[in-house]
Amino acid sequence: MKRLLFLLTFIALAGNSSSQLPINREVEIGIVEKLGDTIPLDLKFFNEKNDTVALRSMINKPTILSFVYFDCPGLCSPLLDGIANVISKMDLSIGKDFDIITISFNTKDTPEKARQKKLNFVQKIQEKDRSSWFYLTGELQNIQKITESVGFRYKPTGLDFAHPSTIIMLSPQGKITRYLYGITFLPFDVKMAVIEAQKGLVRPTSNKFLEYCFAYDSQSRSYTLQFTRLIGTFILIVGLFFVAYLLISAKRKSTKKNKE
């Protein structure tokens, strides 16, 4: 019994240690999911032609939303390349089944820069479909409103920004239906996200465990494995199984003794 009490105490401490590394915390850099919320559609931005456009006039079908800045030395180019790759492999058609909106969160980015950046990443898409991938820039107030509405948290670090890497699926009404994390995406996952968004179905993030296992390192501008968190979780799970084994064994012994 003393051994069992000691083990339970140990597991409780391990669990408490693990729980102090919060999963759904209000992060400074990262994503605070806002599934089911509707983005502010009246916000206005500048497209690659320097025309002022409102999101309401652009979103009328499932829309893939992403945030970048055009001089990013880290995640942004791989993210945009990942979007272009997955779009080129899907059996759905951009412009017909869905659109893409990429918004720069750097107020120094201009429509001219947006136009140049777009040319780098639409090469894998058929020329007739390229007009349905919109690159937008904007003023600080509107950028802050749109990023906060989807829970995209970023932070200036010198001349650059620390930020997460994700795409956000919107319904034709601007409702947030799904988040897909990383810089590469599976065609099946994106296709299902598009189909769900068309129906207005909100789906929890299937790879949400990645946010638990990895943390963004603003210095290296990459994601690092959370060894302490994983070890704590592993110890907790093993300990719970061992306690269950001891309890079952004790119950069997007690039952056997009663029969004798």
The ranges assigned to domains in the chain are 2-21+226-253, 30-206
Could you name the CATH architecture of 30-206?
3-Layer(aba) Sandwich (3.40)
Residue 125 confidence (pLDDT): 84
Q: Is the pLDDT of residue 74 over 60?
A: yes
Q: Is the pLDDT of residue 9 over 60?
A: no
Residue 10 confidence (pLDDT): 45
User: Do the Cβ atoms of 169 and 193 come closer than 8 Å?
Assistant: yes
Q: Is 76 exposed, middle or buried (0-12, 13-18, 19+ CB in 10 A)?
A: buried
Give the pLDDT confidence of 98-142 residue by residue, as tens digits: 999 999 999 999 999 999 999 989 888 888 888 999 999 999 999
Give the pLDDT confidence of 160-195 residue by residue, as tens digits: 999 999 999 999 999 999 999 999 999 999 999 999
DSSP strand pairing (99-104 vs 133-136):
parallel
Residue 191 confidence (pLDDT): 95
160 has which bridge partners?
Answer: 157
